[in-house]
Amino acid sequence: MIKKKDISIVVQGPYYPKITPKVLNNLLIKFKDSELILSTYKNEQIDNKFKKNFKIVYNKILPDIMQSLNPKNPIYFNYFRHIRSSLNGIKKSSKKYVLKTRSDVLFNNTNFLDYFDKFKFVDKENVILKKKVLISSHYTVDPRKLPLPFHFSDWFFFGLKSDLIKIFDQNYMSKENKKVPDWFLNKKKPKFFFNEYASRFRSEQNLTLNFLKKYKKINIKHAYDHNFKNIILSEKILVSNFVVLNPNLISISSLKHPNFANTQDLLFFNELVTFKKWQKLYKKYSFKKYKIRNIYLLDFFKSLRWILANPKEAIYRFHQYKIYKKF
User: What are the b/e assignments for 195-223, b being 16+ CB within 10 Å?
Assistant: eebbbbbbbbbbbbbbbbeeeeebebebb
Higher pLDDT, 321 or 46: 46
- The confidence score (pLDDT) of residue 97 equals 98
pLDDT at 278: 96
Report which of residues 282 and 64 the model is more confident about.
282
State which amino acid sits at residue 279: Q
160-170 pLDDT, tens digit each: 999 999 999 99
Residue 263 has pLDDT above 90, yes or no: no
Residue 294 has pLDDT above 80, yes or no: no
Instruction: Find the mean pLDDT for residues 135-161.
Output: 94
Burial degree of 128 (CB within 10 A; 0-12, 13-18, 19+)? middle
Could you state, in order of their start, the residue ranges of all structural domains in the chain?
Answer: 4-265+272-293
Give the pLDDT band of residue 63 (cuts 50, 70, 90): confident
The long-range contacts involving 286-289, CB below 8 angstroms and separated by at least 24 positions, are: 286/119, 286/121, 286/122, 286/123, 286/239, 286/240, 287/119, 287/121
Average pLDDT, rounded, for the chain: 88
Q: What is the pLDDT of residue 160?
A: 98
Q: Which residues touch 49 (CB under 8 Å, ≥6 apart)?
A: none
pLDDT in tens, 26-61: 999 999 999 999 999 999 999 999 999 999 999 998
CA distances to 144, 201, 278 from 197, rounded to whole Å, are 20, 9, 27
Percent of the chain at pLDDT > 90 equals: 66
First to last CA, the chain: 44
| DSSP letter assigned to residue 291 | P
Q: What is the pLDDT of residues 91-120, one digit of tens each?
A: 999 999 999 999 999 998 899 999 999 999
Q: Is the pLDDT of residue 268 over 70?
A: no
CATH of domain 4-265+272-293: 3.90.550
* DSSP track, 210-224: HHHTTTS-----STT
Mean pLDDT of 206-228: 95
Confidence (pLDDT) at 326: 46
Q: What is the pLDDT of residue 222?
A: 94
Between 321 and 64, residue with greater pLDDT: 64
Residues pairing with 57 in the sheet: 39
